[in-house]
Amino acid sequence: MMRYSILSLFLAWLNYYGYQTVMCYKIPQVKLELLENGFRVSIPHESGVENVAFNINRNRPFKAFEPGEFSDRIRTPASDNRWSYESRRRLQDDDVIYIWTDVQHYKMRYRSMSPPIKVREALNGGSIDELNENNPTYDNNDTTTTTMESFEIDPRYDNCEESVTIMSNRLVQCKGQLIFEDNFDGTALDMSRWRYEVRLPLDTADAEFVLYDTNAELSNGLLKIEPHLWGNDRPDADIRRGELNLGARCTAYQNSEMECQRHPFGRVVLPPVVTARINTKHAFSFKYGRIEVRAKLPKGDWLFPLLLLEPLVNYYGQHPYASGQMRVAFQRSNVNLETNNGANIGGRVIHGGAVLRLESRYRDIFMVNTNRDAHFGDTFHTYSLTWSERSLSLDVDNKNYGIVNGGFAQDADGNSNAWETGSFMAPFDQEFYITLGVAAGGHGDFPDVCVSKPWTNTSPKAALQFWRDRNNWKTTWSSPALQVDYVRVYAI
């Protein structure tokens, strides 16, 4: 009687879950399709499949079953009876795509590491399936694996906590997931991630005294952005003569007439310093997360680094800082810089937080700072900013030095009523992109109370005053470059 009951229960279990659960499910080959404005990966639906997760890397093989640069778990198949994930990121023809797939089939989970796919070959007309079959490095019969496969499953993500991070308008799957990384290996900037800004700063009340051009370098695993004088220290160089027209290279944001060309006359001069500024605006943006930058900051009078998060869209208005700016790390790079009352605000002090006002006297209201005995340009440090739905938290070398709480609309002093229509973190409740660079001088970041400052912020001849003092400050540029080891962004 007991044997009959057990047998009946077993047959009932088979009838409920299906005979496939007794057999080993095999994940089908992933299909990659190149779209006009992105790409799609998919597998066909089969009976018993309950959900599917895709993890995709560009140009970086997986070391384990770890989160990819693009990751998402799909809960329902599409209308074509396929489990599909789409990204708006356009692939480059020299990209190599790595994919692993996680499938829940009835109550069992299966994982499969797919062969790499060369996008150039796909663009030249070969089908993805043919490319995989012809790849001599992988045997497709061995690509389907269960959790018993030799690749490790990172326990931090196997049972992940739900994330609040948004990337390219999609919710990231797991808290702690690495969603962006560049280690600056190779000899050239990865243009699928970064773009140069080639422009003059707008002539606003805090414009820097620079021209942003394409003079960043990669060497020994470091990004190096080093500022130079106009004319590369030629003794006959004169910023009051000549003209500048960037032409088709110009990447003007708002006013091409002012950002792309300059003809010196009167108080208008050419930019005293040529430097570089790069960003991920075209490729990567996110809302809420933790950004980490390991860098050696510039060392020299009147320089400052740009380690920024900037708004993807000026959602709260076009006025400067109406949509906010976040500073992962900011430093006035002078070796010695004091105010009239003796306060040291030079390179031994690091700042981080938010900029929400144009005027220099309001610049530090939403920033926190800490100081060290040595200049922050003497060695590499790791700077991070954790951006949540309630605050901005700042760290250097994994030590927290301050928190900036949200509720900025309450402290806006009537300057941006638009923030009242947003969330508690407005204007920091939209997607932002990463900016890296070096700047010099300007009207906003060096207060007029600085001792020996050669220009005043309100002077129409500020850039010319700065240039005339170059024999004094240029000799202090012992290590003027920003050197970046890596940039990483994690979901929270």
The reported pLDDT for the residue numbered 361 is 77
Winning range, highest mean pLDDT, from 14-28, 352-366, 459-473: 459-473
Q: Residues near 291 by Cβ (< 8 Å), separated by ≥ 6? A: 309, 328, 384, 385, 387, 434, 487, 488, 489
Of 8-17, 180-189, 362-371, 451-460, least confident by mean pLDDT is 8-17
Q: Counting every residue, how long is the chain?
A: 492
The b/e string for 128-144 (b: 16+ C-beta within 10 A; e otherwise) is beebbeeeeeeeeeebb
- pLDDT > 90 in the chain, percent: 65
**Does position 194 have pLDDT exceeding 70, yes or no?**
yes
Three-state DSSP state, 215: coil
Q: How far is CA 346 from CA 302, 308, 354, 452, in A?
A: 9, 19, 19, 13
Confidence label for 144 from pLDDT (cuts 50, 70 and 90): very low
Look up residue 145 and give its amino acid.
T
- Which whole number is the average pLDDT over 24-32? 90
Confidence label for 360 from pLDDT (cuts 50, 70 and 90): confident
The reported pLDDT for the residue numbered 411 is 73
- Are 127 and 33 in contact by the 8 Å Cβ rule? The answer is no
Q: How many CB atoms lie within 10 A of CB 63?
A: 9
**Does position 217 have pLDDT exceeding 60, yes or no?**
yes
- Which whole number is the average pLDDT over 78-107? 89
Candidates 177, 215, 106; CA nearest to 437 is 215
Q: What is the pTM of this model?
A: 0.70
Of 13-27, 287-301, 418-432, least confident by mean pLDDT is 13-27
CATH number of 22-159: 2.60.40.2140
The reported pLDDT for the residue numbered 152 is 41
Q: How far apart are CA 171 and CA 160, in angstroms?
A: 14
**Does position 158 have pLDDT exceeding 60, yes or no?**
no
Mean residue pLDDT across the chain: 86
The CATH class for the domain spanning 195-490 reads mainly beta
Could you read off the pLDDT of 239-272 as tens digits, one per residue?
999 899 999 999 987 888 899 999 999 889 999 9
- Which whole number is the average pLDDT over 442-458? 94
Candidates 185, 191, 160, 186; CA nearest to 173 is 160
- How many H-runs (helices) and E-runs (strands) does the chain carry? 7, 31
Phi and psi at residue 361, to the nearest 5°: -70, -15
- pLDDT > 70 in the chain, percent: 86
The reported pLDDT for the residue numbered 412 is 62
Q: How many CB atoms lie within 10 A of CB 437?
A: 23
The reported pLDDT for the residue numbered 413 is 61
113-121, Cβ contacts within 8 angstroms, sequence gap of 24 or more: 113/62, 113/65, 113/143, 113/145, 113/149, 113/151, 114/29, 114/30, 114/143, 115/140, 115/143, 116/61, 117/32, 119/34, 119/91, 119/92, 119/93, 119/94, 119/95, 120/93, 120/94
- Which whole number is the average pLDDT over 50-54? 94
- Which whole number is the average pLDDT over 111-126? 76
Confidence label for 107 from pLDDT (cuts 50, 70 and 90): confident
The reported pLDDT for the residue numbered 108 is 87
Cis bond before residue 264 (omega within 30° of 0) = no
- Which whole number is the average pLDDT over 148-154? 37
Q: Which residue has the higher pLDDT, 313 or 18?
A: 313
- CATH 2.60.120.200 in the chain, residues? 195-490
